[in-house]
């Protein structure tokens, strides 16, 4: 029996839709959220567990708004407690002492805080309501109940962001000293209101005041350097941790280890087949079937595994199959290879999408 798989639970409901967000999440009537919990619980109940979950990740959306009693009932349907790592995603402004105590009692031992920025002008433009002080207070509450393993998410490239304000956010990270930080570069695409406005050259959501791609890349590099000085090292393109605090659950995705996802848009992988639940909440709740497709593990090792800074150890047939793109990127200085390990260079990280696309095409 496989003992090391992870479980992902999706709760795609939010109090408001953030301007930069391109996830399949949204604002829905409360009654729908209540019914969703029932459907999710039924999916968990009907699952045949062939292994004991090692990690659990409750993502969203904003699962930190779920009442503790309800969360307790859902988590009771997942075997394996105490999980080695059990994370809940939280929006700042939704945590209080009672809730944090409840989380700890349910087995939650890690919280991922969607801070995005500590600078009020930037936060307001995203549609969020928190302040830096709220984050500091909630981090204290979590530590009080013994949840020290906290991640802080930041976004480089938000509207109105300047080098000085980005520095201010990084100063707050230093002050709060979390063991894990995620730095995402804003994705400018049609799926978020801000991205769409930027593509159209409009001014709403501060779109005309958003940093250029080059500035965003500079902010990212600035963060890599500052976090390293704090002892928080990059271990994946967007993820940074103190020794021993890399996310065990997320590592499963990058190492192509098995996991099972439940809820709308949740993905599962059993080592051979990838499965995706319907993306929309309504389709999921109507019981539309999940879609499955065989995984292409060779390719995925390159465009998923290479996200890890430790790199991958290609098998001999993979060196042969991808000889051309590997050599090309080694020559370009985007990949480096040592003792059979292939990894992205610092410059390769910045151009990683270009590198990955080549492996998908090969």
Give me the residues that bind ligand SF4 (CB under 6 A), please. Answer: 14, 17-18, 21, 23, 25, 60-62, 91, 114
How far is the C-alpha of 77 from the C-alpha of 233, rounded, in Å? 35
In whole angstroms, the minimum distance from the beta carbon of 345 to ligand SF4 comes to: 31
Tokens standing for residue 290? 């999940």
* Residue corresponding to tokens 């659990």: 56
* Helix-then-strand count for the chain, H and E: 15, 14
Residues 6+ apart with CB under 8 A from 362: 299, 321, 322, 324, 325
In whole angstroms, the minimum distance from the beta carbon of 109 to ligand SF4 comes to: 21
DSSP string, 91-122: -TTS--HHHHHHHHHHT--EEEEEEE-S-HHH
Contact between 140 and 96 under an 8 Å Cβ cutoff? The reply is no
**Cβ distance to ligand SF4 smaller for residue 92 or 348:** 92
Determine the residue with CB nearest ligand SF4: 21
**Cβ distance to ligand SF4 smaller for residue 55 or 94:** 94
In whole angstroms, the minimum distance from the beta carbon of 20 to ligand SF4 comes to: 7
**Cβ distance to ligand SF4 smaller for residue 13 or 302:** 13
Contact between 235 and 184 under an 8 Å Cβ cutoff? The reply is no
In whole angstroms, the minimum distance from the beta carbon of 12 to ligand SF4 comes to: 7
**Cβ distance to ligand SF4 smaller for residue 127 or 258:** 127
In whole angstroms, the minimum distance from the beta carbon of 311 to ligand SF4 comes to: 30
**Cβ distance to ligand SF4 smaller for residue 23 or 49:** 23
Tokens standing for residue 217? 């890349």
In whole angstroms, the minimum distance from the beta carbon of 93 to ligand SF4 comes to: 11
How far is the C-alpha of 348 from the C-alpha of 344, rounded, in Å? 5
Task: List, in sequence order, every beta strand (DSSP E) within 12-167.
Answer: 55-60, 85-90, 110-116, 149-156
In whole angstroms, the minimum distance from the beta carbon of 153 to ligand SF4 comes to: 9
**Cβ distance to ligand SF4 smaller for residue 26 or 102:** 26
**Cβ distance to ligand SF4 smaller for residue 128 or 301:** 128
End-to-end CA distance of the chain: 35
**Cβ distance to ligand SF4 smaller for residue 62 or 247:** 62
Residues 6+ apart with CB under 8 A from 31: none
* Residue corresponding to tokens 């956010």: 169
In whole angstroms, the minimum distance from the beta carbon of 111 to ligand SF4 comes to: 14
In whole angstroms, the minimum distance from the beta carbon of 23 to ligand SF4 comes to: 5
* Residue corresponding to tokens 């050599």: 327
How far is the C-alpha of 117 from the C-alpha of 159, rounded, in Å? 11
**Cβ distance to ligand SF4 smaller for residue 25 or 151:** 25
Residue 294: strand pairing partners: 273
DSSP assignment letter at 268: E
């Amino acid at each position: 029996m496989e003992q090391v798989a992870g479980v992902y639970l999706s709760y795609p409901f939010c109090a408001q839709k953030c301007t930069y967000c391109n996830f399949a999440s949204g604002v829905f009537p409360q009654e729908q959220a209540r019914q969703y919990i029932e459907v999710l619980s039924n999916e968990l109940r009907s699952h045949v567990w062939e292994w004991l979950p090692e990690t659990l990740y409750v993502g969203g959306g904003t699962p930190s708004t779920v009442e503790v009693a309800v969360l307790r009932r859902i988590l009771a349907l997942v075997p394996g407690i105490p999980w080695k790592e059990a994370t809940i995603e939280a929006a700042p402004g939704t945590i209080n002492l009672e809730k944090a105590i409840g989380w700890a009692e349910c087995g939650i031992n890690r919280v991922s805080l969607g801070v995005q920025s500590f600078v009020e002008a930037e936060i307001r433009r995203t549609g969020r309501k928190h302040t830096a002080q709220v984050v500091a207070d909630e981090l204290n509450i979590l530590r009080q109940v013994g949840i020290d393993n906290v991640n802080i998410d930041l976004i480089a490239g938000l509207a109105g962001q300047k080098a000085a304000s980005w520095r201010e956010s990084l100063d707050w990270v230093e002050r709060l000293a979390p063991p894990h930080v995620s730095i995402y570069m804003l994705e400018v695409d049609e799926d978020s209101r801000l991205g769409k406005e930027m593509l159209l050259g409009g001014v709403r959501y501060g779109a005309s005041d958003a940093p250029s791609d080059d500035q965003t890349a500079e902010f990212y590099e600035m963060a890599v350097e500052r976090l390293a000085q704090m002892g928080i090292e990059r271990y994946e393109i967007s993820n940074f941790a103190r020794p021993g605090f890399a996310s065990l659950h997320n590592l499963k995705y990058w190492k192509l280890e098995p996991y099972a996802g439940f809820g709308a848009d949740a993905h599962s992988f059993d080592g051979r087949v990838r499965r995706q639940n319907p993306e929309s909440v309504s389709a999921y709740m109507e019981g539309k079937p999940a879609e499955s497709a065989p995984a292409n593990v060779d390719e995925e090792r390159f465009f998923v595994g290479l996200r890890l800074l430790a790199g991958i150890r290609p098998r001999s047939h993979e060196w042969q199959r991808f000889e051309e793109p590997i050599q090309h990127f080694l020559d370009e200085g985007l990949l480096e290879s040592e003792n059979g390990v292939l990894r992205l260079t610092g410059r390769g990280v910045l151009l990683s999408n270009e590198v990955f696309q080549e492996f998908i095409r090969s």
